[in-house]
Amino acid sequence: MARTVLTVRDLDAAAAGGEIVVPRGAIVTPLARDEAEKRGITIRFEDPKAASAEAGDPTGARVIALGADHGGFELKEQLKSYLEQWGYGVLDLGTFTREAVDYPDFAEAVANAVVRGDAWLGVVIDTAGIGSSIAANKVPGARAALCYDRITARNSREHNDANILSLGARLISGETAREILAAWLATPFAGGRHERRVNKIRAIEKLHSKS
């Protein structure tokens, strides 16, 4: 999936106080965000279903944000290929080599993309998956779940409305990761009694964000 970058120069297409629509998965530079706020310009991300329908894609592909450190790089590349085969859009936030990097940077990037609405859901990967899930959950609005089989994958979506999947590349095989991801994406949030509980998680987050 080609990634669009919105820069300050692109804001000239919108009048002050107006709106500019960009594709899902587009990268908005920090300078462009700041300038848009100064000019009162609203940056709206295009509905991926509507965009896909206009492009002749009746499936309404959704964007999945991916992020991994060097320990999860190879698995990220594998899962990116599966997602594209399944018809999803992919927002690859790195890393792009096997050179050693720090997992919190990529977990935060994925969490921000999901919370902002740049992506529908996100996947973070490191050696064990633990650190990335902890880092992602520091971003308000992120609900990252470390999953290691299809049961935990389904549970995290159905019961917890998880919006980020965390995987440990050295703890599961590539095939198991594929099965987990497929189950996770296919499972909707059940709502009902679970919604009440997820709302309590949100309330805890809101309470502590004020301190």
Instruction: Return the minimum-mean-pLDDT range out of 34-38, 146-150, 178-182.
Output: 34-38
CB atoms within 10 A of CB 148: 16
**Catalytic-labelled residue, pool 70, 159, 194, 208:** 159
**How far apart are the C-alpha atoms of 98 and 101, rounded to whole Å?**
8
What integer is the mean pLDDT of 175-199?
Answer: 94
For the domain with range 63-186, which CATH number is right: 3.40.50.880, 3.40.50.720, 3.40.50.300, 3.40.1400.10?
3.40.1400.10
Q: What is the pLDDT of residues 144-173, one digit of tens each?
A: 999 999 999 999 999 999 999 999 999 999
List the domain boundaries for the chain.
5-46, 63-186
**How far apart are the C-alpha atoms of 72 and 129, rounded to whole Å?**
9
What integer is the mean pLDDT of 14-26?
Answer: 72
Percentages helix, strand, coil for the chain (3-state, rounded to 5) are 45, 15, 35
CB atoms within 10 A of CB 70: 18
How much is the pLDDT for 45? 66
Instruction: Return the minimum-mean-pLDDT range out of 1-5, 52-56, 75-79, 164-168.
Output: 52-56
5-6 and 27-28 beta bridge pairing: parallel
Asked if pLDDT for residue 27 goes beyond 80, the answer is no
Higher pLDDT residue, 44 or 178? 178
Higher pLDDT residue, 150 or 57? 150
Annotation marks residue 159 as catalytic: yes
Please tell me whether residue 175 adopts helix, strand or coil conformation: helix
